[in-house]
Amino acid sequence: MKVPQLIAAALLVAATGAFAQATVKIGEVNSYKAQPAFLEPYKKGMELAIEEINAAGGTKFELITRDDNANPGDAVRAAEELVSREKIDVLAGSFLSNIGLALTDFAKQKKIFFLAGEPLTDKIVWQNGNRYTFRLRPSTYMQAAMLVPEAVALKKKRWAVVYPNYEYGQTAVATFKTLMKAAQPDVEFVVEQAAPLGRVDAGAVAQALADAKPDAIFNVLFGADLSKFVREGNTRGLFQGREVVSVLTGEPEYLDPLRDETPNGWVVTGYPWYGIQTPEHKAFFLAYHRKYKDYPRLGSVVGYTMIKSIAEGVKKAKSADTEKLIAAFSGLTHESPFGKITYRAEDHQSTMGAFIGKTRNEGGKGTMVDYRYLDGAKFLPPAAEAKKLRPAE
Amino acid sequence: MSFSAFLVQLLNGLAGASSLFLVAAGLSLIFGVTRIVNFAHGSFFMLGVYAAYSLAGWMMDRLGAGGFWLALPAAALLVGAVGALVEVVLLRRIYRAPELFQLLATFALVLVIKDAALWFWGPEDLLGPRAPGLAGAIDILGRRFPAYDLLLIAVGPVVLGLLWLLLTRTRWGTLVRAATQDREMVAALGVNQAWLFTAVFALGSLLAAFGGALQLPREPANLGLDLVTIGEAFVVVVVGGMGSIPGAYVAALLIAEVKALCVGLGTVDVFGMAFSFSKLTLVVEFLVMALVLVLRPWGLFGRPQAPSRQAGAAEAPLRPASRSFKIAAALLGLALLALPLLSAGSPYTTVLAIDLLTAALFAASLHFIMGPAGMHSFGHAAYFGLGAYGAALLALRAGWPMEAALLGAPLVAAAGALVFGWFCVRLSGVYLAMLTLAFAQIVWALAFQWDDFTGGSNGLTGVWPAPWLANKTAYYGLTLALVAGSVLALRRALFSPFGYALRAGRDSPLRADAIGMPVKQLQWAGFVVAALFAGLAGALYAFSKGSISPESMAVGKSVDGLVMVLLGGLQTLSGPLVGAVSFTWLQDSVARSTDYWRALLGGIVLLLVLAFPQGIAGAVKQLVERRTA
C-alpha cells in the first residue's frame, strides 16, 4: 500500500468507527498432530467458516492455529505466544480435556475470552468453570444423559460397562450409573472394565464381559480401542442377544473405520450427515462439500460452529473486547448446522445437542438409522442448579 | 472368575504373547549385536501393520483369499528392507559415537516415520480384513474363541524354534552370537562386521513388522501403535534378559498372561474394599518389570553384559573451566539478565526463555547422573513430575505460600529418589535404565489414577505464582536466578571430592571399591542430588504454566530429557544446556512453521546427529581444542 492510500484507509477507519474495519484475531490451540482423525476435518470446518464470514462483509476475522503437541504445558506456551506476540482478541480450541482445563485456567489468569470447542469434560463449565470460558460441544454429562432414557426403555436389569481409563470414560460411566439408578432403581452393574486408552486388551475384555452374563452393555470406548473391541465382540458372540448403548459411536470419525464390522442395532450418539434434511444443515453440507469434495465429520461441524459463534458474539457485542464479549455470549443465540443453539448465561455451556439413533451395517458401511436430534438444553441440569456447581467468582 | 473362564483367559494371553514376542525378539537381537537402543522398533511394528493392510487389500483383489496370507510375510520383508536401508544410510555412520548416541537417531526416526505414515495412509484408523479361512470362532469350554488366535498361539513357539535353529545351527547364527559376546574378536577374525550389522538390523525390523502384520485382523492400523508397542517391547526384552530369545518368549508370555488375568479378575473385593484389577492394566507390565529387576538384576534369563570395547574413545577427564570459558559464561549470564530489556518489544521472548531455562535445568540434572555418574536414567521425568506435583499439591492442598511450595517441592522429588534410587543403583547399564523407567511409570500411573488427590488424568489447575511474580519478567528473573544457581551448584559438585568419587565409580568401580569408596552409596547420593534439581525444574515449570497434568512425568518427558542431553553432548558439562535450549527452541519454532513439523524436527535432529556425533557442545569443544592444540 502506498502512503496516500494508507492515509486514505486510515481516514476511512476513523470515519466509519475504528472497530468496523479492524480484523478480529482468533487464536486457536489444538492437538493437530496427536488427533489428526478428528482435527483435520475440524480445521477444515473452521476455515470454511472464516471464508464465509469474511465473504459476507462486515468485521473481518483472522484465524491463527497452533499445535500443542498434546501437552498442556506446550498448550499454555502456545497460548502465551498467541496473546503476547500475535495479539489475539479471542482464544479458542482444544480437544483433550486436560488441555481444555489448562487453557480454561489460563484464560482466567490472563483475563482473556476462551471458547472451548471440542473438549467434553464437565469441569470446564462446572467445577473449574470461570467467567472467561465458554464451551460449545455437548459435554460428557449431556452425552450420557441423552442415552439414559433409551437405556431405560430397553428394560434390562443386568448391565456391563466398558470404558477408557481416564477422566472422560470415568465421568461418562459415573453419570450413566447415577442417572440409571435414579430412573430404574432395580438396575445392576455386573461387570466393569477400565481399559488403558489406546491399549485395550480386546479379547480378554470381551470375554470378561460375556462371562458376567449381562443383559446389556454400556460402552464408552472409541477410536482404535472401539475397532478392536467390536471385532473381538463380533467374533466371540458378545453382542448376540444383548443390547448395546454406546457413546459417540455414531460419529463418522469412529463409525467409518468399522466398515463391514459395524454392529447392528447399537443405540449411539453421533452425526448422520447423510440424512439431515434441515435447511441449515443442507447449506452447511453443500458449502463444505463444494470446498473440500468430501463429507463433513462431526469435527467439521464443531470447528465451523465454533468460529460462527465467535463471529456472532463479536457482532452482538459490537466489539472483540473481552468483557463485552463475555456479556454478549451470556445468552447468545444463533443458527448452527444443528439448528439454534444458546450459550447459557448461568454455566456458559451451549445447548448444542447431538443425534441419537441406531447403528446399521449397510453393505459393509456403518450408518445410523432411526435417528433424531436431541436438543442439548433438555439434557442439562436446570440452569440454577448448574450455577451451584460452579465456584463462586 | 470360574475355572473355565480362567483357562480361556490364559488362552487369550497366549494369543497376545506371540506378536509381543516377535517384536521383542527383534529388539533383543539388534541390541545384542549393535548395542543400539532402538526407539524406532515400535515404528517398524506400526509400518508392518500399515504395509500389511495395503498389501492385503491389493493382493486380495488379485489373488483372492491367498493374497491375504502372502501379504503378511511380504509386509515383513518390505519393512525389513526399510530397516536395512536405515542401517546402511544412517546408523552405520554413527557406531563409533559415544554410547547411547544412536538412541538419538532412532528417536528422530520415530518422528519421521510417524509423519510419513500420516502423509501416506491418512489420519483415519484402518481396520484390516479378517483372515480368510480363520474368520470365525470355535467353541472352547462353552465359549467362542477366535480361530485366528489359535494360529497366533502357534506362531510364537514356531518362530522361537526357527530363531533358535538360525542362531545355533547356522554359521551366520554363530557369528551373531559371537558378535553379541565380543564384537572386536569377531572383527579380528576377519568377519565383515558391516554386513553382519546390516543383516541383524534387517532381521530385527523384519520380526517387528511381522509381529505387526500378524495383528492386522485384530487391530486397526493407527498412528499410536509405535509408542504403545515400543514400551511393551522394552519391558519384555528386559524382563526376559537382554539378548536371550527364549527369555523374551517367557517374558512375553508372562506379561500377556498377567494382563489377561487382570482383565479376567475385574473388580474384586479385598477386605471389604472393591479393588479394580482392570484398572491395573494401565501399569501392570511395569510393576512386573520392577519386581523382576529387583529380584533378578539381569532379568529372568539374562547374564551380566560384557563391557563393550567398541564404544567411542574413552572419555577425557573433566577439566575446570578455562579463563576464556569463564569470561564467555559471565557474558552469557549478563546477556540473559538483560534479556527482558533487550526484548521489550516482543514479550514472548521472556515466556519462551522461561521454558528454555527450566528445560536446561532438567537436562543438566539428568546429565549429572547420566554423564559423570554413569547411570543412564530413562525415567528422569518422574522427579520432574514429583517436583511439579509437589509444588502444586503443597500450594493447593496444604495451603503453603507459593514461595514455600517452590522450595519444598524439590524435597518431594528427592524423597522419591531416596526410595527408588536405593533399588536402581543395585543394577547397571540398560537394566538400571529400565528400572528407572519402571518407577517413573508407576509414579505416573499413581498421579493418573488418584483422582481425589492429584486430579487424575486432568491434573491440577490454578497453580499460579505469588502476585509479586505474576509478571512474566519477574518470574523470568526468579527462574534465571534459581536455574543459574543450580547449574553452578551441580558443576561445583562435580569438581568436589564427591564428584571425583562419582566419576571414579563410573570409570572403574572395582578400583574405586578397592580404595575404600562406597560406590553404591555414592551413586545413591548422586541419584538423589539429580532428583532434587529435576524437582526444582518441575516446580518452576508448574508455576510458569499454572497447571500440571500427568504428561509432565510421562515417558515422553523422560525421552525429551535424553534427547536434550545427547543432542548437546553427553561428555561435556555445557552439553545438556546447549541441547535443552536448541531442542526446545527448535520444537517451538518448527511446530509453527509447517503442518508436518514432526518430520521436519526429526529431519533436523538427524542432520545434527550426522554432523555432530559428539553432540553440539562436544563438536564445539573439539573444534576449540584442535585450534589451541
B21-56 tens-digit pLDDT: 999 999 999 988 888 889 999 999 999 999 999 999
A289 Rama class: left (phi>0) / alpha (psi -120 to 50) / beta: alpha
Residue of A nearest to B215 (CA): A228
Query: Cell triple for residue B201?
Result: 538390523
Task: List Cα–Cα distances, B574 to A335, B499, B526, in angstroms.
Answer: 58, 16, 18
Among residues A210, A209, A216, A211, the alpha carbon closest in space to that of A180 is found at A216
Among B130, B146, B458, whose Cβ lies nearest the Cβ of A167? B458
Instruction: Give contacts of A211 with chain B, Cβ < 8 Å.
Output: 1-2, 5, 143, 264
Instruction: Give contacts of A199 with chain B, Cβ < 8 Å.
Output: 228, 281
Residue numbers of A between 252 and 281 with CB closer than 8 Å to B:
253, 256-259, 261
Assess contact for B424 and B527: CB atoms under 8 A.
yes
Does residue B164 surpass a pLDDT of 90?
yes
Residue of B nearest to A85 (CA): B348
Query: Cell triple for residue B469?
Result: 511474580
Q: How far apart are CA B249 and CA B251, in angstroms?
A: 5
A54-106 tens-digit pLDDT: 999 889 999 999 999 889 999 999 999 999 999 999 999 999 989 999 999 99
Q: How far apart are CA B472 and CA B543, in angstroms?
A: 11
Does residue B594 surpass a pLDDT of 90?
no
Percent helix, percent strand, percent coil in chain B, to nearest 5: 75, 5, 20
Does residue B76 surpass a pLDDT of 80?
yes
Residue numbers of A between 137 and 156 with CB closer than 8 Å to B:
none
C-alpha angle A214-A196-A264 in degrees, rounded to nearest 5? 45
A73/B457 touch (CB, cutoff 8 Å), yes or no = no
Return the DSSP state at B468: G
Does residue B313 surpass a pLDDT of 80?
no
Does residue A3 surpass a pLDDT of 50?
no
- The pLDDT of A340-368, averaged and rounded, is 94
B264/A259 touch (CB, cutoff 8 Å), yes or no = no
Instruction: Give contacts of A224 with chain B, Cβ < 8 Å.
Output: 125, 219-220, 222, 224
A208/B9 touch (CB, cutoff 8 Å), yes or no = yes
The pTM (predicted TM-score) of the whole model is 0.92
| Contact with chain A for residue B32, Cβ under 8 A | no
Q: Whats the size of chain B, residue-wise?
A: 629
Assess contact for A251 and A272: CB atoms under 8 A.
no
Q: How far apart are CA B354 and CA A324, in angstroms?
A: 32
A224/B219 touch (CB, cutoff 8 Å), yes or no = yes
Instruction: Give contacts of A81 with chain B, Cβ < 8 Å.
Output: 348, 351-352
Among residues B424, B380, B395, B384, the alpha carbon closest in space to that of B525 is found at B424
Quote the pLDDT of residue A16: 46
Query: Cell triple for residue B117?
Result: 505414515
| Contact with chain A for residue B15, Cβ under 8 A | yes
Probe site for chain A from B60, B461, B587 (most A CB atoms < 10 A):
B461
List, in order, residues 6 or more apart from B304 with CB less than 8 Å away.
B298
Q: How far apart are CA B208 and CA B46, in angstroms?
A: 9
Tell me if domain A3-138+277-353 and domain A141-272+354-379 are identical in fold.
yes
A205/B13 touch (CB, cutoff 8 Å), yes or no = no
User: What three-state secondary structure class fits A173?
Assistant: helix
B253-281 tens-digit pLDDT: 999 999 999 999 888 877 777 888 888 88
More confident: B300 or B96: B300
* Residue B306 pLDDT level (bands cut at 50, 70, 90): low
Residue numbers of A between 319 and 338 with CB closer than 8 Å to B:
none
B144/A236 touch (CB, cutoff 8 Å), yes or no = yes
Q: How far apart are CA B16 and CA A203, in angstroms?
A: 9
- Ordered by start, the domain boundaries in chain B are 3-121+138-295, 348-628
B222/A228 touch (CB, cutoff 8 Å), yes or no = no
Widest pairwise Cα distance in chain A: 81
Assess contact for B556 and B379: CB atoms under 8 A.
no
| Contact with chain B for residue A72, Cβ under 8 A | yes
| Contact with chain A for residue B258, Cβ under 8 A | no
Quote the pLDDT of residue B530: 96
Q: How many CB atoms lie within 10 A of CB B521?
A: 13
Cα dihedral sign, B489-B492-B497-B498: positive
- The pLDDT of B58-68, averaged and rounded, is 92
B15/A203 touch (CB, cutoff 8 Å), yes or no = yes
Does residue A18 surpass a pLDDT of 50?
no
Among A101, A201, A261, whose Cβ lies nearest the Cβ of B458? A101
Helix then strand count (H, E) for chain A reads 14, 14
Instruction: Give contacts of B130 with chain A, Cβ < 8 Å.
Output: 231
Q: How far apart are CA B530 and CA B414, in angstroms?
A: 8
- The pLDDT of A285-310, averaged and rounded, is 96
| Contact with chain B for residue A123, Cβ under 8 A | yes
Among residues B126, B130, B118, B105, the alpha carbon closest in space to that of B36 is found at B105
Instruction: Give contacts of A196 with chain B, Cβ < 8 Å.
Output: 281-282
B8/A207 touch (CB, cutoff 8 Å), yes or no = yes
Q: Does domain A141-272+354-379 have CATH number 3.90.1330.10?
A: no
- Ordered by start, the domain boundaries in chain A are 3-138+277-353, 141-272+354-379
DSSP of B260-302 = HHHHHH-EEEETTEEEEHHHHTTTHHHHHHHHHHHH-TTTTT-
Class of domain A3-138+277-353: alpha beta
| Contact with chain B for residue A193, Cβ under 8 A | yes
Q: Give the residue carrying C-alpha cell 555432530.
A: B612
Beta strand pairing call for A158-164 and A216-219: parallel
Class of domain B348-628: mainly alpha
Return the DSSP state at B397: T
DSSP of A51-117 = HHHHHT-SS-EEEEEEE-TT-HHHHHHHHHHHHHTS--SEEEE--SHHHHHHHHHHHHHHT--EEE-
B142 Rama class: left (phi>0) / alpha (psi -120 to 50) / beta: left
Probe site for chain A from B127, B389, B559 (most A CB atoms < 10 A):
B127
Q: How far does B159 lie from chain A, in Å, by closest CA?
A: 23
Question: Number of A:B CB contacts under 8 A?
Answer: 204
Quote the pLDDT of residue B627: 78
B146/A236 touch (CB, cutoff 8 Å), yes or no = yes
Among B130, B276, B352, whose Cβ lies nearest the Cβ of A194? B276
Of the listed ranges A14-28, A78-92, A224-238, B423-437, the one predicted with least confidence: A14-28
Residue numbers of A between 3 and 32 with CB closer than 8 Å to B:
32
Amino acid at B576: P
| Contact with chain A for residue B348, Cβ under 8 A | yes
Amino acid at A205: V
Beta strand pairing call for A354-362 and A267-270: antiparallel
Return the DSSP state at B133: T
Does residue B405 surpass a pLDDT of 70?
yes
Quote the pLDDT of residue A5: 53
| Contact with chain B for residue A204, Cβ under 8 A | yes
Does residue A7 surpass a pLDDT of 80?
no
| Contact with chain A for residue B161, Cβ under 8 A | no
Does residue B393 surpass a pLDDT of 60?
yes
Instruction: Give contacts of B546 with chain A, Cβ < 8 Å.
Output: 76, 102, 105-106, 109
Q: How far apart are CA B225 and CA B209, in angstroms?
A: 12
Q: How many CB atoms lie within 10 A of CB B126?
A: 19
Return the DSSP state at B400: -
B571-586 tens-digit pLDDT: 888 899 999 999 999 9
A73/B545 touch (CB, cutoff 8 Å), yes or no = yes
Q: Crossing angle for the helix pair B348-370 and B575-593, nearest 10 degrees?
A: 140
Q: Give the residue carrying C-alpha cell 536371550.
A: B244
| Contact with chain A for residue B552, Cβ under 8 A | yes
Among A85, A123, A204, whose Cβ lies nearest the Cβ of B12? A204
Does residue A1 surpass a pLDDT of 60?
no
B373-382 tens-digit pLDDT: 989 999 999 9
List, in order, residues 6 or more apart from B327 with CB less than 8 Å away.
none
* Residue A19 pLDDT level (bands cut at 50, 70, 90): very low
Residue of B nearest to A166 (CA): B457
| Contact with chain B for residue A194, Cβ under 8 A | yes
Quote the pLDDT of residue B305: 66
B462-497 tens-digit pLDDT: 899 999 998 889 999 999 999 999 999 999 999 999
B443-468: b or e for each residue (b if 16 or more CB lie within 10 Å)? bbbebbbeeeebbbbbbbbbbbbbee
A198/B13 touch (CB, cutoff 8 Å), yes or no = no
* Residue A34 pLDDT level (bands cut at 50, 70, 90): confident
Q: How far apart are CA B581 and CA B339, in angstroms?
A: 15
| Contact with chain A for residue B1, Cβ under 8 A | yes
Residue of B nearest to A43 (CA): B595
| Contact with chain A for residue B602, Cβ under 8 A | no
Q: How far apart are CA B197 and CA B194, in angstroms?
A: 5
Calculate the CA dihedral of residues B377, B381, B383, B384 and round it to 10 degrees: 140
Q: How far does A28 lie from chain B, in Å, by closest CA?
A: 12
Q: Looking at domain B3-121+138-295, which CATH architecture does it have?
A: Orthogonal Bundle (1.10)
* Residue B314 pLDDT level (bands cut at 50, 70, 90): low
Query: Cell triple for residue B608?
Result: 545434527
Q: Give the residue carrying C-alpha cell 511394528.
A: B45
Q: How far apart are CA A128 and CA A106, in angstroms?
A: 12
- The pLDDT of A256-269, averaged and rounded, is 94
Quote the pLDDT of residue B131: 94
| Contact with chain A for residue B279, Cβ under 8 A | yes
- Percent of residues, chain A, with pLDDT higher than 70: 94
Q: How far does A283 lie from chain B, in Å, by closest CA?
A: 26
Question: What is the rounded average pLDDT for all residues in chain B?
Answer: 91
- The pLDDT of A306-335, averaged and rounded, is 94
Quote the pLDDT of residue B435: 93
Residue of B nearest to A73 (CA): B545
Does residue B309 surpass a pLDDT of 80?
no
Probe site for chain A from B151, B458, B471 (most A CB atoms < 10 A):
B458
